[in-house]
């Protein structure tokens, strides 16, 4: 299966991707990880990306698409891939489709893990992290259940920041959802349930 993964920050799409990877061995291609790897390896596209990142600029679409195209030609993607974090806009989706067409590897589905924004805000603002071991828990944890360390709220989990991230997501990604719906590729799953229930629905919807 060739899949694009969609969903707001905190919707749980990363969890579902991890479960697909574990069961089927499909490579989970995160554009952030891919950028860091290309920069570290010093590839021509990695060097190009680094020049933009060092200047504090966004890495242009053509560089990202070049990196994605390179990555999709590696042997581990022969049986499929899960793209996460790209495309982020309709223009990127059109460019990606063109590259996948050249590779004769079209998308099978755009999987949207859909959760109401108020639910996500509740999830993220109640999230706490252990200062010592990095365990992720909730506001109910007075101390870390793993190492008894201090639990704290990360700066990006406060309500103002979470609402801003969701606002940015909605503005940039809502047109992308419409694009894939128009291509008859959108598969929407209710993510506001137990992780295993959501995963069962994901597999059913993808015919796995």
Catalytic residue IDs: 13, 88, 127, 154, 165
- Helix, coil or strand: residue 114: strand
d(CA 76, CA 133): 32
For residue 44, the tally of other CB atoms under 10 A from its CB is: 10
Strands of 20-165, DSSP E: 28-30, 81-84, 109-114, 127-130, 136-138, 151-152
The Cα angle at residue 11 between residues 57 and 3, in degrees rounded to 5:
75
């Amino acid at each position: 299966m060739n899949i694009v993964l969609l969903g707001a920050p905190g919707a749980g799409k990363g969890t579902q991707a991890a479960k697909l990877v574990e069961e089927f061995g499909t490579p989970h291609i995160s554009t952030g990880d891919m950028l860091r790897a290309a920069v570290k390896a010093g590839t021509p596209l990695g060097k190009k990306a680094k020049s933009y990142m060092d200047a504090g600029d966004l890495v242009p679409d053509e560089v990202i698409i070049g990196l994605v195209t390179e990555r999709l030609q590696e042997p581990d993607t022969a049986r499929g891939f899960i793209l996460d974090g790209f495309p982020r806009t309709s223009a990127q989706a059109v460019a990606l489709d063109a590259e996948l067409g050249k590779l004769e590897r079209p998308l099978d589905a755009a999987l949207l893990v859909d959760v109401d924004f108020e639910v996500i805000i509740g999830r993220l603002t109640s999230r706490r992290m252990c200062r010592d071991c990095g365990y992720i828990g909730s506001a109910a944890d007075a101390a870390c259940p793993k190492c008894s360390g201090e639990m704290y709220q990360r700066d990006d989990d406060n309500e103002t920041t979470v609402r801003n991230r969701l606002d940015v997501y909605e503005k940039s990604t809502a047109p992308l959802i419409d694009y894939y719906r128009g291509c008859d590729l959108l598969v929407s799953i209710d993510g506001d349930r137990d992780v295993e229930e959501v995963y069962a629905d994901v597999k059913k919807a993808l015919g796995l």
